[in-house]
Amino acid sequence: MMHSRNNGLRLLSYQPLTILCAQPVTVTSVIFSTPDDVLFNDFKGNYEFMNFISDLYKNVEEDYNDVNDIARQVWHTPTELFKPYYGYSVADYLIQRFENEKTPLEHFTIYEVGAGNGTLMNNILDYIAQTRPDLYAITRYNIIEISGKLAEQQKSTKRMDRHHSKLQVINQSIFDWNTVVQEPCYFVAMEVIVSHFSITIH
């Protein structure tokens, strides 16, 4: 996560990762997600929680048994494992940073790279709307998403109906991003790990 309070933000990148295979492979990627109503306080400890997650994970794997092991990828992230509280904590941090600005900002602008199912986005916007409706009124949430399929999912999910006016989904690789963002903003990249990636602040 990075905060820019300077005159401009430019994202620069180098060469993307290339995977070489002997035969063409179509990769089936699934973002693992827990149910929305998990009662974390009911777990007696870490082992019980991990067993619960393991059972859910097995169910997801079984749904894709017909997919080659090399081509099947099931991703799980803190955002999905601990929703909505993980997103709430990120939102609370962003609000604190916003309130600590020496100069009042006209907009509460957030950029997220690689939003997956859109869960973090939803949780952040839900928290801002519920706890700080005054900030929600000036919030603008932008997603930079390389996957066309995920970009459409992020825009069309029913959960986004209430946040539609706040959201812009940019279907583009961050490696191709060359726009200078002049306004102060908050840059969120929670599950993105890229070598040779730099953010230049002017």
How many domains is the chain built from? Answer: 1
Residue 41 within a domain: no
Confidence at residue 56, expressed as pLDDT on a 0 to 100 scale: 74
- For residue 133, whether the previous peptide bond is cis, meaning omega lies within 30 degrees of 0, is no
- Cβ distance 151 to 168 under 8 Å? no
Residue 92, token pair as written in the block: 């609370």
SS3 98: helix
Neighbours of 13 (CB within 10 A): 16
pLDDT in tens, 121-167: 999 999 999 999 999 999 999 999 888 888 887 777 655 678 889 99
Tell whether 159 is covered by a domain: yes
22 occurs within a structural domain: no
Taking residues 70-90, report their average pLDDT.
Answer: 76
Residue 136 inside a domain? The answer is yes
Please give the mean pLDDT across all residues of the chain.
75
The better pLDDT of the pair 44, 137 is held by 137
Q: pLDDT grade, residue 115 (50/70/90)? A: confident
pLDDT at 32 over 60: yes
Whether 92 is in a domain gets the answer: yes
3 state SS of 102: coil
Q: For residue range 154-194, what is the model confidence (pLDDT) as tens digits?
A: 777 655 678 889 999 999 988 888 888 888 999 998 866 55
Q: What CATH number did the domain enclosing 151 receive?
A: 3.40.50.150
State yes or no: pLDDT of 73 exceeds 60.
no
Q: Which domain holds residue 178?
A: 2-15+78-201
Confidence at residue 78, expressed as pLDDT on a 0 to 100 scale: 82
Q: Could you tell me if residue 96 is inside a domain?
A: yes
Torsion-angle region of 47 (φ positive above 0: left; ψ -120 to 50: alpha; else: beta): alpha
Running DSSP on this structure, what letter comes out for residue 42? G
**Dihedral of CA 200/118/190/65: which sign?**
negative
> Which residues lie below 8 Å from residue 26, measured CB to CB, with a gap of 6+?
71
Strands 139-145 and 9-13: unpaired
The answer to whether 108 touches 98, Cβ cutoff 8 Å, is yes
Decide if 72 is inside a domain: no
Whether 68 maps to a domain, the answer reads no
